[in-house]
Structure 1
Amino acid sequence: MLSICIVIASIAAAAYLIFKKYYAPGALLFVGLITLGVVACISPDPLITGKKATHLAALDVIQIFTNLLQTRTAGLGMNIMAIAGFTYFMDQIGASGALVRLSVKPLKLIKAPYIVMTLGFILSLILNVFIPSAAGLALLLMVSLYPVMVMGGISRQSAAATILVGGCCCFGPSGGNNLLAADLTKMHVMDFFLNVQWTIGWVAVIAMLVAHFFIQRWFDKRDLAKGILTKEDFEVPQLTKEDAKAENAPLWYALFPLIPVILLFVFSPLMYKGIRMEVVTALLVSTFVALILDGIRRMNLKESIGTIKTFAQGMGKVFTSTVFLIVCAEVFAAGLTKSGGIAEIINSVSGMQAGGYAVFTVMFLIVVGSAFVMGSGNAAFFSFAPMIPDIAAKVGLNAAFMISPLQLASGMARSSSPIAGVTIAIAGLSGLNPFDLIRRSIPVMVIAIIATYLRSLMLI
């Protein structure tokens, strides 16, 4: 019982600190180290055994952090940093902006406002495959898709909510959480995306699209009739302009962000096994191709080579924001695991008649609740995902189909949180209150979360 109390206290402490806007990685690391320290004091067993052990309990607490930092930075961390470097480079040369502008053009031809909104939602989900940052994608869409939807006849609230929920799933091989999930399940990232994530996700997508169409239309009609909305809410506000480089980039630059996904798909176990293509290699090949073609267009070798600096800057930025968060979250998860509370909860739930399904339900609810309270899908998912393979083995369930719904649901819960970075960013650009956004996103996300859970029960 003491171990379960430690788990509950640790989760509550971490959630409280993050809710109070403490630096999320620092909060998770702080609570994780304290939890490990408590466990070291009360447990007769050492925290670390084997070659990595320091043979001093106090040092073992820090050594766990050291081991995770070394392992994650060299493997998964390098993949995530390379993706970030590529994303920043694509932004610098204007390729991301070109992809969004090209994608938005057909929507301007359609006159049915809520059809445009739904197609905009689909477009957001597709673009999220190639632009994995929910906040980054949202900022691009706010200066391109957002005005198109409002001019089409929907309210600013509906348009902003569409962009908020559009990045909720993080489909594809590019997101850090997808890379972690593939790594934990020992699967190729494209195999995980197509045969696991999408197998679950398509049901949630259909549920979201139908729900979003009717819910936003209902909100607009009801709020307009009650006077909550006025005619001004159906007019395009002034937004910040896109960067000049992004506006001047030719539309064929939109091909550049697609190259890594194409390479990973073609040279994967799903298509051609003769060539082994790693994520970092695909990103570097794509970067060099884009660099050469951009250099030819610029006809300025110094300026073109200088853009590669953005790649390195992007790698550095994502280390502080994501890779370090993963390591800190895993220290937090290690504290929960070493306490024995997670094992005790699993054993208790496993003894129920529902068995493994009850364990999955408990983990699912914990991740959803954590993501909502923390305002971060990554923080919640990274904290609990490393536990899943062992849990799945103990209860006889498929680890991949346990991990994927947690990843999907964590993003959906984040898109329902008023303190999520993407929510605040969209609210700031649209001039709306974050709570105006989540009152429209929560019903859609709840339906999507339920659909994800029910679909997962069929597969695990």
Structure 2
Amino acid sequence: MIGVLITLAVVAVVAYCVLKNYYPPFVLLLAGFVMLICAAFYGQMPVAEGKSTGFFGFDLHQAFTSLMAGRLPGLGLNIMMIAGFSVYMDRIGASKALVKLCVKPLSAIRSPYILLAVTYVIGQFMALFINSAVGLGLLLMASIYPLLVALGVSRASAAAVIGSTCCLDLGPASSNAMRAADLLGTDVVTYFVQSQIPVALCVVATVAVGHFFVQRWFDARDAKKGVSRNAAEAQDLEKAFEGAGPSYYALLPMLPLVLLIIFSPMVYADVKLSLQTGIMVSIMIAFIVDLLTHRGFKDACERTKAVFEGMGKVFTSTVGLICCAELFALGMNKLGGVSTLISAAASMENAGVWVMLFVMLGIMVVATVVTGSGNAAFFAFSPLLPEAAASVGINAAVLAVPVQLSAGLARTMCPIAGVIIAVAGIAGLTPFEIVRRTVPVMLLALIVNVAASAAFL
């Protein structure tokens, strides 16, 4: 019980620091060290005896470096490769070409709230290929946002929908999906097709319908209060798509997903293709297409620098945060606070399955809102899922899928999430003005997420 109380106190302090704009990775790192020190008083040392340096102070840091060493070669490199590819697609104009292709039909929809719902669905589809929530949000703010506002949608409604277009981490290129597949002992394409898609289709439909009614209700309420609707902004889609590549460039961001599906156990098992290799092949194909299109070898080579710039940027923004969050989770585990909750749920016989599910969902949602990152939260606490599932005698997928998807849903409710901050800045709103409109939709999505997982998995 003491471990639970210490854990809650540390989480409260971390939440306060993050909300006050302290640098989240180092706050989590320090919090992890504090909990490891507390755990040491109860005989739970930071590292196993065989890995000990012989001095407790060094062992604390050894725990972190061991996490880094284990994470960087595998999933850490996957995340950096995906980010590098995504930035390269943006640099050569392929991302804008894809967005231009997808949003063009939206201009034919004249009902503003139907347009909102369709915008979310199309944005979630594009998130399969544009893996950065912030990057996708910025592209949509530059392209579809002016159209939404011009049709009479309030700035807050438009920003709320655009900020939630990447609320589900789906597909083989999602780092959270890769982590979940690894925990379930399957390949990421099989996990995507057999586990994610049935649940995600239900959640996507729920979010689309939810935005239709929730945003309309908020706009009507604001109108009754005398809050003036924002004047329509001039559409300048040509400027929004300035720098977009030719229309066939829209196919380039899809290459990794297509290759991974084709060369997977579900389609063609004789050739094995890893995510990292698939991305490298996609980069080379994109380079050749870019070279043949612009016929400038030096400039084409220069644009590939974006790959390595993207890898470095995501290391500082995501991979480092994930490693610090994992140390934070290690401290929580050593203290026994989380294991106490799991043991309590496991002891509840028939109700234990549901209690366990809600315990893990609660941990994931709180961790995501505190850190502002669905990746950091899921990587930190996902190792608990197999143990939690085994303790109540259920298939690990029944826990893994809803918990993994809940991380993205919770990020959309977080005012310190990068995509919410970026969208709010462009719309001229505060992040809290946006999340008050996303929270009701995401809570509904969380309920459907659990129900669909129970029905299909």
Shorter-normalised TM range = over 0.9
The answer to whether the 8 Å contact 2:99/2:140 transfers is: yes
Following superposition, the deviation at residue 46 of structure 1 comes to 4.0
The answer to whether the 8 Å contact 2:32/2:329 transfers is: yes
- The equivalent of 1:292 in structure 2 is 288
Stretch moving more, 371-380 or 120-129: 371-380
Partner amino acid, structure 1, of 2:326: E
Q: Does the residue aligned with 1:166 lie in a helix, a strand or coil?
A: coil
- CA distance in structure 2 between the partners assigned to 1:108 and 1:221 by the alignment: 24
- CA distance in structure 1 between the partners assigned to 2:21 and 2:59 by the alignment: 29
The answer to whether the 8 Å contact 1:237/1:430 transfers is: no
Partner amino acid, structure 1, of 2:159: A
- CA distance in structure 2 between the partners assigned to 1:45 and 1:419 by the alignment: 33
- 1:44-83 matches, within 5 Å, as 44=43, 46-49=45-48, 51-83=50-82
The answer to whether the 8 Å contact 1:333/1:386 transfers is: no
- The equivalent of 2:23 in structure 1 is 23
- CA distance in structure 1 between the partners assigned to 2:413 and 2:289 by the alignment: 41
Instruction: Count the aligned residue pairs.
Output: 456
- RMSD of Structure 2 on Structure 1 (CA): 2.1
- The equivalent of 1:35 in structure 2 is 35
- The equivalent of 1:6 in structure 2 is 6
- CA distance in structure 1 between the partners assigned to 2:55 and 2:191 by the alignment: 40
The answer to whether the 8 Å contact 1:86/1:314 transfers is: yes
- 1:14-413 matches, within 5 Å, as 14-40=14-40, 42-44=41-43, 46-49=45-48, 51-230=50-229, 232-236=230-234, 242=240, 244=242, 246-247=243-244, 249-353=245-349, 354-413=351-410
Partner amino acid, structure 2, of 1:29: L
Q: Does the residue aligned with 1:330 lie in a helix, a strand or coil?
A: helix
Q: Does the residue aligned with 2:15 lie in a helix, a strand or coil?
A: helix
- The equivalent of 2:413 in structure 1 is 416
Following superposition, the deviation at residue 66 of structure 1 comes to 1.4
Stretch moving more, 413-422 or 296-305: 413-422
- CA distance in structure 2 between the partners assigned to 1:306 and 1:389 by the alignment: 45
- CA distance in structure 2 between the partners assigned to 1:361 and 1:237 by the alignment: 45
Following superposition, the deviation at residue 384 of structure 1 comes to 1.6
Q: 1:398 to 1:24 in 2, by over 3 A?
A: farther
Stretch moving more, 116-125 or 370-379: 370-379
Following superposition, the deviation at residue 31 of structure 1 comes to 0.7
Correspondence for 1:453 among 440, 450, 455: 450
- CA distance in structure 1 between the partners assigned to 2:60 and 2:238 by the alignment: 47
The answer to whether the 8 Å contact 1:389/1:399 transfers is: yes
Q: Which runs of 5+ in 1 are unaligned?
A: none
Q: CA-to-partner distance for each residue in 1:285-332, whole Å, 9 max, x for gaps?
A: 110001011011111111111111110111111111111111111111
Following superposition, the deviation at residue 444 of structure 1 comes to 1.0
Following superposition, the deviation at residue 238 of structure 1 comes to 8.2
Q: Does the residue aligned with 2:186 lie in a helix, a strand or coil?
A: coil
Partner amino acid, structure 2, of 1:59: F
- CA distance in structure 1 between the partners assigned to 2:320 and 2:359 by the alignment: 27
Following superposition, the deviation at residue 439 of structure 1 comes to 2.4
- CA distance in structure 1 between the partners assigned to 2:238 and 2:412 by the alignment: 23
- CA distance in structure 2 between the partners assigned to 1:326 and 1:253 by the alignment: 32
- CA distance in structure 2 between the partners assigned to 1:202 and 1:77 by the alignment: 28
Q: Does the residue aligned with 1:21 lie in a helix, a strand or coil?
A: coil
The answer to whether the 8 Å contact 2:342/2:359 transfers is: no
Following superposition, the deviation at residue 410 of structure 1 comes to 2.1
Following superposition, the deviation at residue 190 of structure 1 comes to 1.3
Stretch moving more, 323-332 or 252-261: 323-332
- CA distance in structure 1 between the partners assigned to 2:145 and 2:391 by the alignment: 47
Same amino acid, percent of matched pairs: 43
Q: CA-to-partner distance for each residue in 1:75-106, whole Å, 9 max, x for gaps?
A: 11111110011001001101001100111111
Stretch moving more, 92-101 or 109-118: 109-118
The answer to whether the 8 Å contact 1:329/1:379 transfers is: yes
- CA distance in structure 2 between the partners assigned to 1:263 and 1:410 by the alignment: 27
Q: Which runs of 5+ in 2 are unaligned?
A: none
Q: 1:53 to 1:125 in 2, by over 3 A?
A: same
Following superposition, the deviation at residue 450 of structure 1 comes to 1.4
- CA distance in structure 2 between the partners assigned to 1:221 and 1:44 by the alignment: 58
Normalised by the length of structure 1, the TM-score is 0.93
Normalised by the length of structure 2, the TM-score is 0.94
- CA distance in structure 2 between the partners assigned to 1:47 and 1:220 by the alignment: 52
Following superposition, the deviation at residue 443 of structure 1 comes to 1.5
